[in-house]
Structure 1
Amino acid sequence: MSHLKGRTVATLIGDVVGSRDSDDRRGLHRRLLAALADETARSVALEPPAVTVGDEFQGCYPTVGAAIAAGWRLRTTLLPEVDVRVGIGWGPVTRLDDTVQDGPGWWAAREAIDWVAEAQTKAGTRAVRTAYRSEEPGGPDPAAVDAALRCRDHLLGSLDERSQRILGGLMAGRTQAEIADSEDISASAVSQRVRGDGLALLLQVADQLAEVGARR
């Protein structure tokens, strides 16, 4: 859209982790499309995230926090069966034609997701799935935001599959009782995981990161 021409925005590039090794590429792609459609319905995107090629998707947001929140919702929706990595950038975006965009904002997001792909190969950062880079002075501090993202991702990566599903249910607005029924466990067992596995902390962190770059 022409309203993005020269505007400084938060850009998001994501892709599915290990999609080439999937035994059901079509099914994986359908799940990704469903998650993107759900995210489009409830996000504040300037341009909702959409598949560009293969299992890569891109979107534009008014703030870095909004882009972080979108990536987080997509991850918690798709886990534990499917995981995605996300690169977030901040900088000017230019539209070259009706379909192609370019500019520092996209270069920053590409640098971020490339860093994540490399970080996943190293033991100390194996659980990291999100990074943020900036090409515009005065935007949210990349060092501070990136530090928070790494800690958040590490905590998420330490959860077992049940706790990841519970977190996804909480992010989707389901009650602990509803989640307990779907997991065939007691409500107290869900509550114990929310407290003991740091799910409540992850929800608080998600809320705070969603405010990054928002005007006060």
Structure 2
Amino acid sequence: MYTVIGDIVGSRGLTDRARAQQAIVATLGRVSMAIPLVQRLEPTFGDEIQGGFKTVGDASLATLLITLELNRLANPSPAARPPVDPLPDLIVMRFGIGKGTIGVFDLESQPIRQDGPGWHAARDAIDSLGKKSGARYVGPVGTGWPEPAAVNAFLVARDGLVDTLNHRQRRMLLSALHGESQKSIAEQEGISESAVSQAFARGVSAVRDAQFLFGKA
């Protein structure tokens, strides 16, 4: 199983921690509907989340979707902006992806009580980021695909490109990853299809295509 641990970056700076946790729960619910899970995505203790996936492609896609969903909640399109309710803070997360066996002690507990090398690898991966956002992978070396160096090269390039996108472009990327057309995205954003096409040319389509190709590797 490919394990994922996520952790909030700069959590002490959040103005409303309860609302932030609600945003995380809503985000995990949406991502869980988009990607097959081996183990449910759920908050754990403190500011962390965890989940399990069948492939490294699914695990990496989950980290990207979570990032983009949190951006959408904090920075919705004008048409989706609530008229009164305050928006949640923009939650920035870092992610560790691991691979290895796990031992589950209580599947019904929330969070699931478990341990094992798979979780230790994900912990090592997230620790390697320090206080930076993004994602890293720790797994077996020299055993064929996925080779950690290759996976991390992809993650560094992907996350670096996402960092160059503004909030609107990140919403477009989220919609594109869900298979929505440029026409539909233009309607959601209240802009022309030409403006959407320009955003795709400036990085949105590159991230989408790279993520899908990585998932097929």
Taking structure 2 as the reference length, the TM-score comes to 0.82
User: What is the one-letter code of the residue matched to 1:146?
Assistant: N
Among 150, 155, 176, the alignment partner of 1:170 is 176
State the partner residue of 1:110: 123
Give the Cα–Cα distance (whole angstroms) in 2 for the partners of residues 18 and 146 of structure 1. Answer: 23
User: What is the one-letter code of the residue matched to 1:147?
Assistant: A
User: What is the one-letter code of the residue matched to 1:30?
Assistant: Q
Q: Secondary structure at the match of 1:116?
A: coil
1:25-67 CA distance string (max 9 Å, x none)? 2222111111111122232111121111133111111222221
State the partner residue of 1:85: 94
The answer to whether residue 191 in structure 2 is matched with residue 199 in structure 1 is no
| Comparing 35-44 and 85-94, the one that deviates more | 35-44
State the partner residue of 2:9: 17
The Cα of 1:179 is off from its aligned counterpart by: 2.2
Unpaired runs of 5+ in structure 2? 76-89
Give the Cα–Cα distance (whole angstroms) in 2 for the partners of residues 36 and 97 of structure 1. Answer: 21
Misfit runs of 4+, over 6 Å: none
CA-based RMSD of the aligned residues comes to 1.9
Q: Secondary structure at the match of 2:176?
A: helix
1:94-144 CA distance string (max 9 Å, x none)? 2244442111111110011111234x2xxxxxxx50000014762510011
The Cα of 1:182 is off from its aligned counterpart by: 3.0
State the partner residue of 1:32: 24
The Cα of 1:181 is off from its aligned counterpart by: 2.8
The Cα of 1:173 is off from its aligned counterpart by: 3.2
User: What is the one-letter code of the residue matched to 1:176?
Assistant: Q
Give the Cα–Cα distance (whole angstroms) in 2 for the partners of residues 132 and 69 of structure 1. Answer: 13
Identity %: 36
List aligned pairs for 1:97-136, cutoff 5 A. Answer: 97-98=106-107, 99-118=112-131, 120=132, 129-135=134-140
Give the Cα–Cα distance (whole angstroms) in 1 for the partners of residues 164 and 50 of structure 2. Answer: 27
Unpaired runs of 5+ in structure 1? 1-8, 121-127
Q: Sort the Cα spacing of 1:200 and 1:29 in 2 relative to 1 into closer, same or farther, 3 A.
A: same
User: What is the one-letter code of the residue matched to 1:158?
Assistant: T
User: What is the one-letter code of the residue matched to 2:68?
Assistant: T
Q: Sort the Cα spacing of 1:184 and 1:97 in 2 relative to 1 into closer, same or farther, 3 A.
A: closer
Give the Cα–Cα distance (whole angstroms) in 2 for the partners of residues 88 and 144 of structure 1. Answer: 14
State the partner residue of 1:3: none
